[in-house]
Structures are given as C-alpha cells and as structure tokens.
Amino acid sequence: KNPCHIALIGATGSVGSSVLDICRAFPEKFKIIFLVAHRNALKMNDLIHEFHPIGAALTDREAASILRTLQSEVSVYETDDDLEYIVTHPEIDHVVFASSGTAAIKALQKALLADKNVSLANKESIVVAAPWVMPLVRRTDQLRPLDSEHNAIWQCLQGEDKETVEEIYLTASGGPFRTYDQKALRHVTPEMALAHPVWDMGYKVSIDSATLMNKGIEIIEAMYLFDLEHTQVKAVICPGSIVHGIVRFTDGTLKMAASTPDMRLAAATALSYPGRLRLSALPQIMPLSVHSLTVQFYPPDEKLFPCLALAKEAARKKGPYPSLLVGADEVAVDAFLRREISFTQISLVIEQVLSSYNDNAPQTLEESLIILERGRERARALIRSAGRCGK
Ligand code: NDP
Ligand code: MG
C-alpha cells in the first residue's frame, strides 16, 4: 500500500531515529500512524508535532501523563493493552520493533498474529522468546530483520533454497578495544566503551559491542531467525564493518552484503521490500566505492572477549541459557555503566550466573521470562556480594 502505514515502537531511540529518517525522506511511501516509546515525553512531543500520528504511547505512566499536558493533538496511550491495540490496528500495515529490552514480546506476537509486516531490531526479544514468536510468522516476507548483520543475511538468502545454506558469518567491527590486551581492558571506563569506532548506538548495545556479547547474542538471534544450527552461525571480525553478513552455500559460493555502516540502510531495505529506495535522497550516506574496497576478516579473540564464548555456549545448550544470558548481561552492563564493576568483571558475572544454573528448559514464554528475571536477580546478588567484599 502507498503510503505504507507504520507503527514505530522505540521511536525515541537510536534505531527509531534511523527509521524516522527514512520516513522523513520518503513521505509519499511511508506514513507514521503510531509512535511508541518508554518515557521520553519531550522527544515524543517533538515527534508528534513533526509526524502527526493518530496516536502515541509512552509505556511509563508518569511520562504518559506529562505528554498529555504537553499536547492535545493526538490520543496518548500507556498500557500493555494499548500497545496490543496499536500493533493490531486495522490502519497499520507495518510494525517496527526498535525498542530495547524485552517489554515488547507480547506486542510482537500480536502483530504477527494479526498478519502485519514486522521489522525487528529488538534482538533480546528473539533470544528470549523465539520458540513462541517464530512459529507465528506466516509469510516469508513477514518478518524482516533490522539488525544490520541479520538484515544482510536476509538479503543474501532471498531467492535461495534454505537447504543449500552451509553456514553464515556475522561480521563484527571488533569494538573500540579490538587491539587491547588483557591488562589494558581492566582499566576501560564506560566513556571509553561507549565511544564505538563505527556505529552510533544506544548505551546497552554499545557496551555489548565492546565486550563482543552483542555478537554472541546475534549468533543466537540468527540461529532462530534463519532456523540454523549453532554450528552454522559464525562470528568474524571485519574492522570498519563494510561487509555485514556472509552466506556460504553448499556449492562453495560466498554471497555477502556490503554497504556503508548506517542503520538507515537496514531500515530502508526492510521497509521498502521487495522494492529498493534511492537513498541518495538522504544526506550523509556515502555510497561505497567499489574501487576503494579493501576488506579483511579476522577470527575474534574469545580469550580476550569471553562474553562471545559464553554466548556461543548458551547457543549450543539452548534451554534456559539464552534467557539467563540476556538477564545477567543486562544487569552486568548496567552495573558497569554505574561503575559498580569493571569492564572485565562483566563476563565474570555472566559466567557465574550461567554456571550456577541447572533448572529445566522453559516450556512456555512465561517460564522463559521467569528465567530471564532469575538471570537478572542472580547477577544483582553476585554484584552486591562482590561490592561487600570490596572487589
Ligand atoms: P536506545 O536505547 O537508543 O532506544 C531504545 C528505545 O526503546 C527508546 O525509544 C525507548 O524509549 C524505547 N523503550 C525502552 N523500553 C521500552 C518499553 N518498555 N516499551 C516501549 N518502548 C521502550 O536503543 P537502540 O535504538 O540502540 O536499540 C534498540 C534495539 O535495537 C535494541 O534491542 C538493540 O539491541 C537493537 N539494535 C540496535 C542497533 C543500533 O544501531 N542502535 C543495531 C541493531 C540492533 P525512551 O527513549 O522513551 O526510554
Ligand atoms: Mg548488529
């Protein structure tokens, strides 16, 4: 449909801004109908004035009431039921999940059940809830990955037979500490970790990129999105992040997707599929010149960045481990940002949470969410006791 009617969850965040840039540049193709965020009422207010949606939601109650005092142009929503109403609204063609955390899992299920097209950046939701989300995907073009590596793999797989996929590679820039040694890593500050060499992202995913946990979480995400075994999904370092994903087929062919590292490109391919947009309409996206392309790949150093090894182990064991990993990582990253633990302690906390767990695999989404919460609680308890010991 032209224009395509969009509900954007996570509108005030980093990925949300990329999606809005595409909508801003192509108003004849995309129309924002609903905007959703958590608590940034001021930014939401600005977005409402610019995009004139029919409704906006802030999932934080207090922020929603502040937003109501700021403007009277649109309906303001706030509850989980409201979110379900938004993503299943008959006016909506396409729901974009660009929120962080796992709060949007139920809305993601509802959107798929309502046969909406879905673009998904929110990797935590897939890692925690894939067994209860992926079976709801009805059409091959319904779920479009926005995470840049998965978006690249998705593009490479178009028109291909899944049975001919041997393995896939997700590239990583290596983060700001690619060339550090163990000793230097101990003195890394949150400011240093947040200064990513290639991507400008939210806090959580920036720290995860620096520890390589982001790549680990993405391995699990890819396994579920593309229905692959853990042995078929590999991580590889590509400084500069020009190549985003590679597929090796059974005949030995490597198909890879390369582009300027900019989330607006991933957003554009997902929103405009099966067409493509002319992105020269957007400022600051320099197309790659073929003549200046030199790409090198390196294996990641799992000794220096143990988070990647921990996530690969969770991918191998599945069961409760992906949810535990996400819960423990969320708390450990938060503690690092608050300067309660050091950079190298992030992986130690997660390792202890994973190794002290021997419960069963979750049978339902609710059980998976309980395990996620246990991962958080155990990480908090470990950090508290380390604090008491003065470590
Ligand atoms: P940000 O922290 O920049 O933004 C998060 C967004 O989610 C904000 O709009 C925030 O609202 C909203 N939000 C948070 N909690 C809720 C909730 N409970 N309900 C509704 N909305 C909520 O994150 P990023 O944009 O960096 O990342 C978003 C997701 O995309 C993450 O899952 C991340 O892993 C993934 N991703 C990010 C990439 C990037 O380049 N940044 C690349 C690939 C994937 P508010 O501002 O009001 O708090
Ligand atoms: Mg990514």
> What separation in Å is there between the alpha carbon of 147 and the centre of ligand 2?
5
- Is the Cβ–Cβ distance between 337 and 343 less than 8 Å? no
pLDDT in tens, 81-128: 899 999 999 999 999 999 999 999 999 999 999 999 999 999 999 999
Nearest CA to ligand 1 atom 26: 202
What is the distance between the terminal CA atoms of the chain, rounded to a whole angstrom?
Answer: 58
> What separation in Å is there between the alpha carbon of 43 and the centre of ligand 2?
25
Q: Residue 389 — pLDDT band, cuts 50, 70, 90? A: low
Mutation test residue for ligand 1: of 45, 100, 133, the one with most atoms within 8 Å of CB? 100
Taking the CA of residue 41 as reference, the ligand 1 atom at the shortest distance is 47
Q: Residue 292 — pLDDT band, cuts 50, 70, 90? A: confident
Give the separation between CA 248 and CA 134, rounded to whole angstroms: 23
Quick one: pLDDT at residue 390? 52
Q: Check if the interface score ipTM surpasses 0.90.
A: yes
Report whether pLDDT(200) > 90: no
- Measured at the CA of 134, the angle between CA 130 and CA 137, to 5 degrees, comes to 155
Q: Is this prediction's pTM over 0.95?
A: yes
| Ligand positioned closest to the Cα atom of 170 | 2
| Ligand positioned closest to the Cα atom of 14 | 1
Report whether pLDDT(261) > 80: yes
Give the separation between CA 362 and CA 327, rounded to whole angstroms: 15
Average pLDDT over residues 277-284: 80
Q: Residue 364 — pLDDT band, cuts 50, 70, 90? A: very high
> What separation in Å is there between the alpha carbon of 200 and the centre of ligand 2?
12
